[in-house]
Amino acid sequence: MYFIFEIAFSSPKQYIANLIRAYAKQQNMQMEVLQTPDKIVLTFDKDDKKLENFLLGLEEVLPASLFLGKGKHYFSDERPAVLPETKPDIPLNIAPCPTCQKEMFDVSSRRYYYPFTSCNHCGSQHPFLTKYPYNRANSSMKFLVPCSECQEELKSNALRRDYPLISCIECGIKLRMVGKKSERMATNKGEYRKLFEVSGRAIASGKSVLMKTLHGYRKFFKAKKSTSNILLMASALGFNKHLMMIEQEFNALLSIERPMLRVATKSDELKELYGSSVLVKYPDDGMTMLLAKEILSAGLEYVAYVECDSDEEADFLVDFDVPINRQKDTKLFINQDRKFFISGERICYPTKAYQPKNRVTLAHDLACVEVEDKKIVDSVELFDKVTTDEFYILEGEEFESEHPNEVRFKQYEASTLSVLVEHNLVGQKAIGVHFDTNLHFLYYNGKSVIDAVPPIPFESDNLWEKIAILREGSDRLVENYKKAYPDVWERLDRLEGNIDIFKVTAIALGLEDESLEGISAEALSFLGKGGIQIDTRVKDNRFDNYAFLSSIMSYQLGGVENPYMCYSIYESFGDYIGEIVPQLINKVKTKTVVLTGETFANQSLYARINRTLGIYKPLMNINLPIGKESAVYGGLYL
């Protein structure tokens, strides 16, 4: 008889299962671990007397995770299938696990206030990788020789057995802090602690600190009125005081994956600084964790930061000499029990792909390349030259392959396939809607993706001429708008190049954040119900950018306020999509609907889509971003 404990786990990543295995070895516990696509299964001998203590200890060791769900246990006469344990071969880029955090804040530890503390199952490993395969020789730590105690750990510590990036204060990376008139180095426990203490106090006193974190350079400062700053909460205790959050958002921010979320503000002080919503982070690497501890000690519950370059002007610089490669941070969208990644690389990549074709894909500086008989998706610069039968590359990517069998593909094609792959529906008919800066209605016939209802092309130069000839009376609209908003009119008249419709819209509305993100944030500040109808087309059911803009300008002249306008934009898109998709479904006889593109990560639009298309249960990416970063994966299956 066996005791079976199952934990829901929705990711193919192995770090939780491997952590459980390592902890079992550390505790001399006889057990087996099996990871399936939707759960982790632990199998024990029913009569093992150490079982209860092991499970209680496991609760302390396991981190919170975006992918972990509910657990259940039962007894079985049959032993579940067992798969061989695999050695970690792709680096992680998540927060330190509870055990590593404990070391960082234990004064008796060799890693007290050492921000590069990690193990096989956690931490910022990916920033140190210089090329595949993943090992110390292929990392920027290759010149740092582990001390005798770290060498011993490689054999005796189950969590760090053969860990490629093992280090501590004695043998690891040194920090320095540079001010206008001073410089300090950190080479021992006291100096590391002092460096972060001085940084925290400096920020609390109104100074700025430019810090090289393991996610790139970030400039930290006291929060100030701006829509472009990211809010870093120094303590979880401040969440309920300052932010309006549901339980799923709270759990996501504190998970070991540490995504970025847009959250509604609650306290008057945050509303004054950021309006109705703000992008929020919880400390996500050793540098920010230690800084947050000292910020809290200095009397602040939160600070702000911007991602920047190393030459950003600041009062103090905290730096280290070891080079790192930075991944784009990942934004997460949550609507009740539904969550998905919007955009970014960290958390989602690197990942493995399973596709028998000898094909390399490249899109948005990400590539899928075979390394030691495994297909890995990661930054293109981390791979050496390879031979391949086919080379698939995204349209517009500036990369000269000189491959005889080069194929260019479109974003919406690859994004659609990425969803179908994750849902095991490749080869089956589907209707797709791809919505980023343009709105495409697609038909997948089981072999290729067809742009069934393409948008009317949009060019931002000569904008007023195109709007003026849109329909009868449009020329008067342009003249009236010029008189009412001369500064906006002049700026839009000077636009050159390929500027997307959402940036043009944000400029017209006078938003500080001139982007899709800015419009989305403004929409969240509308607290009413029901919006106004904004034109999305003129003829042939195709989305018309110029009709869309002229409608917004008409409402502006009528005195409609920005929050109501932005909310209505998304609601109108939801109605338009909800009208076209059923028409396509009736024509091609399929009820599979796929949604891609980061525009769908808006509460107003998402709610409207659920209302208009909910009966079809639209499919979206599960472990890949719904935005552009899914293309490199989908391109494998075109």
Q: Are 172 and 115 in contact (CB under 8 A)?
A: no
Cβ 121 vs Cβ 19: under 8 Å: yes
What are 596's strand-pairing partners? 434
| Backbone torsions φ then ψ of 177, nearest 5 degrees | -125, 125
Average confidence score pLDDT of the chain? 93
**Tens of pLDDT, residues 558-612:** 999 999 999 999 999 999 999 999 999 999 989 999 999 999 999 989 999 999 9
Range in 170-184, 423-437, 491-505 the model is least confident about: 491-505
pLDDT of residue 302: 97
* Mean pLDDT value across residues 53-81: 91
Q: Is residue 536 domain-shared with residue 464, that is, in the same domain? A: yes
Instruction: Using pLDDT thresholds of 50, 70 and 90, give the confidence band for residue 84.
Output: low
Domain that holds residue 213: 175-326
For residue 129, the model assigns a pLDDT of 97
The confidence score (pLDDT) of residue 85 equals 65
Number of structural domains (the chain) is 4
pLDDT tens sequence across 247-295: 999 999 999 999 999 999 999 999 999 988 999 999 999 999 999 999 9
pLDDT at 399 over 90: no
User: 119 falls in which pLDDT band (50, 70, 90)?
Assistant: very high
Whether 15 and 129 share a structural domain = no
Lowest mean pLDDT among 218-222, 456-460, 517-521, 630-634: 456-460
The position carrying tokens 């919503």 is 277
**CA-based angle 614:615:621, to the nearest 5?**
55
Distance CA(575)–CA(581), nearest Å, equals: 10
- At residue 438, the pLDDT reads 87
One domain, residues 152 and 208: no
d(CA 216, CA 308): 8
* Cα 89 to chain centroid, rounded: 22
- Rounded CA gap, 507 and 504, in Å? 5
Q: Is the pLDDT of residue 331 over 80?
A: yes
Q: Is 60 helix (H, G, I), strand (E, B) or coil?
A: helix
Tokens linked to 320: 């280290």
> In terms of domains, do 67 and 106 share one?
no
Q: Which of 556, 567, 569, 560 is nearest to 523 (CA)?
A: 567
CATH classification at residue 437 = 3.30.420.40
Q: What is the pLDDT of residue 89?
A: 87
pLDDT at 82: 66
pLDDT value of position 364:
96
* Residue 349 scores a pLDDT above 70: yes
212: pLDDT strictly greater than 80: yes
Residue 424 Ramachandran class (φ > 0 left, ψ -120 to 50 alpha, else beta): left
Are 292 and 184 found together in one domain? yes
CA distance linking residue 38 with residue 471, whole number of Å:
54
Last-in-domain residue among 129, 160, 191: 160
Round the CA-based radius of gyration of the chain to a whole number and report it: 26
Q: Which residues, in sequence order, are CB contacts of 612 under 8 Å at separation 6+?
A: 574, 575, 577, 578, 579, 581
638 domain-assigned? no
Least trusted range by pLDDT, from 15-29, 453-467, 598-612, 620-634: 453-467
Kindly list the distances between the CA atom of residue 232 and the CA atoms of 89, 263, 281, 294, in Å, as whole numbers in the listed order: 31, 12, 5, 13
The enclosing domain of 57 has a CATH number of: 3.30.70.260
* pLDDT tens-place string over residues 400-423: 888 999 999 999 999 999 999 999
DSSP 286-319: HHHHHHHHHHHHTT-SEEEEEEE-TT---SEEEE
Decide if pLDDT at 371 tops 80. yes
Higher pLDDT, 227 or 466: 466
User: Predicted confidence band at 460 (pLDDT cuts at 50, 70, 90)?
Assistant: confident
For residue 105, pLDDT over 80 is answered with yes
Q: Provide the 3-class DSSP secondary structure of residue 621.
A: coil
The pLDDT score that the predictor gives to residue 444 is 97
Tokens of 516: 């899709």
The domain boundary, picked from 326, 352, 376, lies at 326
280 and 262 Cβ atoms separated by less than 8 Å: yes
For residue 181, the surrounding DSSP H or E stretch is none
Residues 179 and 154 in one domain: no
How many whole angstroms separate alpha carbon 333 and alpha carbon 335? 7
Strand-pair partners of 379? 366
Q: Which residues pair with 59 in a beta bridge?
A: none
Which pLDDT belongs to residue 116?
A: 98
Which of 621, 220, 610 minimizes the C-alpha distance to 434?
A: 621
User: pLDDT confidence of 205, banded at 50, 70, 90?
Assistant: very high
Indicate whether 189 and 148 sit together in one domain. no
List helix spans (H) across 391-537: 411-422, 463-468, 474-484, 486-493, 501-509, 516-524
Asked if residue 417 is part of any domain, the answer here is no
Strand order in the sheet with 68-76: 31-35, 39-45, 2-9, 68-76
Q: Is residue 222 part of a domain?
A: yes
Cα(256)–Cα(28) distance, integer angstroms: 26
Q: Which tokens go with 208?
A: 């700025």
Q: Summarize the confidence of residues 415-439 as an average pLDDT.
A: 95
Give the pLDDT confidence score for residue 270 in this predicted structure.
95
Identify the CATH number of the domain in which residue 180 sits. 3.90.870.10
pLDDT at residue 483 in the model: 94
Same domain, 50 and 8: yes
Structure tokens at 152: 């011993």
Mean pLDDT within 127-133: 97
- Mean pLDDT across 112-124: 97
Residue 537 gets which letter from DSSP? Answer: B
Q: What is the 3-state secondary structure (H, E, C) of 521-549?
A: HHHHCCCCCCCCCCCCECCCCCECHHHHH
- Residue 390 is given by DSSP the state E
| 498 pLDDT more than 90 | no
Do residue 146 and residue 57 come from a single domain? no
The predicted pLDDT at position 6 comes to: 94
Which of the two residues, 181 and 557, has the higher pLDDT score?
557
